[in-house]
Amino acid sequence: MSIKEKSSKAIGKYLRISTHKARRILEQIKGKKYNDAKLILKFMPYRACKNINKILESAFSNIQQKNIEEINKNKIFIKEAIADQGPTLKRFQPRAQGRAFPIRKPTCHITIEIEIN
């Protein structure tokens, strides 16, 4: 098996989560084994966990596709988990006396890289 086949990554773009909220979850799973990370994400009470779990499954699917032989999930660990800031959606809330109140809806790009140990 070459080095290129030992790692894989998946990216989720334009997710409607703030980077601050996504990073607090990614810090918990960074460096953990695949099965442990799945278990942590399952029982965390945050909304972002669902999206992060999907990206993690996608990364695992990518590494399975690259390799011909069966992969042991206990040997896979999360090498890198990053949340980058995406474009901010700008909206306005009408207020009293004809004023407008700006609302910023942040988005983020989440990258998860996994590797076979």
Q: What is the pLDDT, as a whole number, of residue 53?
A: 97
Nearest to 76 by CA among 41, 114, 47, 43: 114
- Kindly report the number of other CB atoms within 10 A of residue 31's CB atom: 13
Task: Say whether pLDDT at 65 is over 50.
Answer: yes
Rounded to an integer, the average pLDDT of 48-56 is 97
CATH of the domain at 46: 3.90.470.10
- Kindly report the number of other CB atoms within 10 A of residue 86's CB atom: 17
Bridge partners for 92 per DSSP? 102
Q: Contact at 8 Å (CB) between 84 and 108?
A: yes
- Count of structural domains within the chain: 1
What is the model's pTM? 0.89
Tokens in use for 8? 């894989």
Provide the domain limits for residue 101: 3-116
Rounded to an integer, the average pLDDT of 36-57 is 96
